[in-house]
């Protein structure tokens, strides 16, 4: 397991572990969850579209836990791999080089979600030298 994969798995575990503590002890957490629920409710835009938007924003704002969460939610609501990569394209256009660097986190999270972790040694050496 590489460091990014480990970071993603730790982020998921931390989110699950801290959720109930935050509900019990943080005065604003439940209100935030209510805002989140209202924002992601299907309306003129379906939930998948909203999750893809949030994924793009997460990349641009460099929020790795947000990237993992919104990727998971987008996949849960039927996003295809092609839609995920187009979302990454939008993030890179809006956020430039830093967004491209954080997009790598999303690619690894996507591979983990799909059960497709890849050994970088199998990648084309020319492509590796570019990243």
Task: Please give the pLDDT value at position 60.
Answer: 98
Cα–Cα distance, 48 to 36 (Å, whole number): 14
- What's CA 110's distance to the chain center, in Å? 8
CA distance between the termini of the chain: 20
Q: Which domains does the chain have, with CATH numbers?
A: 3-115 (1.20.1290.10)
Which residues, other chains included, contact 92 with Cβ-Cβ below 8 Å and sequence gap of 6+? 59, 99, 100, 103
pLDDT of the residue at 2: 86
Distance (Å, whole) CA 118 – CA 112: 9
Tens of pLDDT, residue by residue, the chain (131 residues): 788 899 999 999 999 999 999 999 999 999 999 999 999 999 999 999 999 999 999 999 999 999 999 999 999 999 999 999 999 999 999 999 999 999 999 999 999 999 876 554 445 444 555 55
- Tokens describing residue 124: 């084309």
Helix intervals (H) in the chain: 3-25, 29-39, 47-60, 64-76, 81-113, 125-130
Per the CB < 8 A criterion, the answer to whether 48 and 78 are in contact is yes
């Amino acid at each position: 397991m590489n460091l990014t994969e480990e970071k993603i798995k730790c982020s998921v575990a931390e989110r699950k572990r801290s959720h109930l503590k935050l509900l019990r002890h943080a005065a604003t957490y439940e209100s935030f969850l209510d805002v989140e629920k209202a924002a992601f409710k299907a309306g003129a835009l379906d939930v998948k579209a909203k999750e893809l938007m949030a994924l793009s924003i997460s990349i641009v704002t460099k929020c790795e836990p947000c990237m993992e969460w919104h990727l998971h939610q987008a996949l849960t609501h039927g996003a295809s791999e092609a839609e995920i990569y187009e979302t990454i394209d939008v993030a890179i256009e809006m956020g430039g080089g830093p967004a491209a660097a954080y997009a790598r986190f999303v690619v690894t999270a996507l591979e983990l979600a799909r059960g497709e972790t890849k050994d970088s040694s199998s990648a084309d050496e020319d492509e590796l030298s570019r990243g």
